[in-house]
Amino acid sequence: EAGVAQSPRYKIIEKRQSVAFWCNPISGHATLYWYQQILGQGPKLLIQFQNNGVVDDSQLPKDRFSAERLKGVDSTLKIQPAKLEDSAVYLCASSLGGTGSQPQHFGDGTRLSIL
Amino acid sequence: QKEVEQDPGPLSVPEGAIVSLNCTYSNSAFQYFMWYRQYSRKGPELLMYTYSSGNKEDGRFTAQVDKSSKYISLFIRDSQPSDSATYLCAMKGGSSASKIIFGSGTRLSIRP
């Protein structure tokens, strides 16, 4: 079974520029998550999709971050404009369902550096 | 106070030792408890997944949950250098609306 795929693996941009990340979840997984992991911290949920609908985006900084999952499979996360504090690893995860009984499986993330 | 507290380490032990990793939490609504292993520049990998209180064993790994004390543990027996990684505890409430809350991770190093 192929895992969660993410690209790019690394991205370096200057502050105020824009950037986009892509995620392809495990086949058949209805729920997709984007997390932000700052160095030395655990992942923090930014947004959760169930198929192509948003379940939870309470911790997404909506003035600069946006995400979509148009066909209920792939997803993109965008930051515009980027700030220095956005330097982090952006992780995508997927699960069969959104309940606690379904574990989440993570991709290897995109490491973002803001200069 | 954070919802989930985890000692960041680093923790260094000799090969073959028993390792004990712990987390405390404050939210009594948590029902699902997880341990993830994260190697450098990789995503978290699910190791153990338990529901409510009790013990669960999988090979060299044992997870314990004590809901009365709001305390969870991961034990690694016969530790190997390949176990060197950051270990993240995580927990979640029972409803579909609840999100996973992660600890900050404990960095573990196994000395050959």
Tens of each residue's pLDDT in chain B, 112 residues: 789 999 888 999 999 999 999 999 999 999 999 999 999 999 999 999 998 888 999 999 999 999 999 999 999 999 999 999 999 999 998 776 788 999 999 999 999 9
Residue type at position A30: A
pLDDT at A71: 85
Distance CA B92, CA B49 (A): 11
Identify whether B81 is preceded by a cis peptide bond (ω within 30 of 0): no
Residues of B in contact with A48 (CB under 8 A): 99
Q: Is residue A44 classed exposed, middle or buried when 0-12, 13-18 and 19+ CB atoms within 10 A define those classes?
A: middle
For the cut 90, the answer to whether the pLDDT of residue A76 exceeds it is: yes
Tell me the average pLDDT across A36-52: 94
What is the token pair recorded at B28? 């009594």
For the cut 90, the answer to whether the pLDDT of residue A44 exceeds it is: yes
pLDDT at B98: 80
pLDDT at A88: 98
The pLDDT-based confidence of A99 (bands split at 50, 70, 90) is: low
Q: With CA atoms as reference, report the closest residue to A54 among A44, A45, A64.
A: A45
Instruction: Point out the residue among A48, A100, A103 whose CB comes nearest to the CB of B94.
Output: A100
Tell me the average pLDDT across A83-101: 88
B92 with A55: Cβ contact below 8 A? no
| Higher-pLDDT residue of A5, A71 | A5
Residues of A in contact with B51 (CB under 8 A): 100-101
Distance, in angstroms, between A45 CA and closest chain B CA? 7
Ramachandran class of B91: left when φ > 0, alpha when ψ lies in -120 to 50, beta otherwise: beta
A100 with B102: Cβ contact below 8 A? no
Question: pLDDT, tens digit, for every residue of A50-71?
Answer: 988 999 999 999 999 999 998 8
B32 with A45: Cβ contact below 8 A? no
B98 with A100: Cβ contact below 8 A? yes
Instruction: Point out the residue among A97, A99, A108 whose CB comes nearest to the CB of B42.
Output: A108
Count chain A–chain B contacts defined by CB atoms under 8 A: 59
Query: Does B92 lie at the interface with A, CB-CB under 8 angstroms?
Result: yes
For the cut 70, the answer to whether the pLDDT of residue A32 exceeds it is: yes
Strand partners, B64: B55, B73
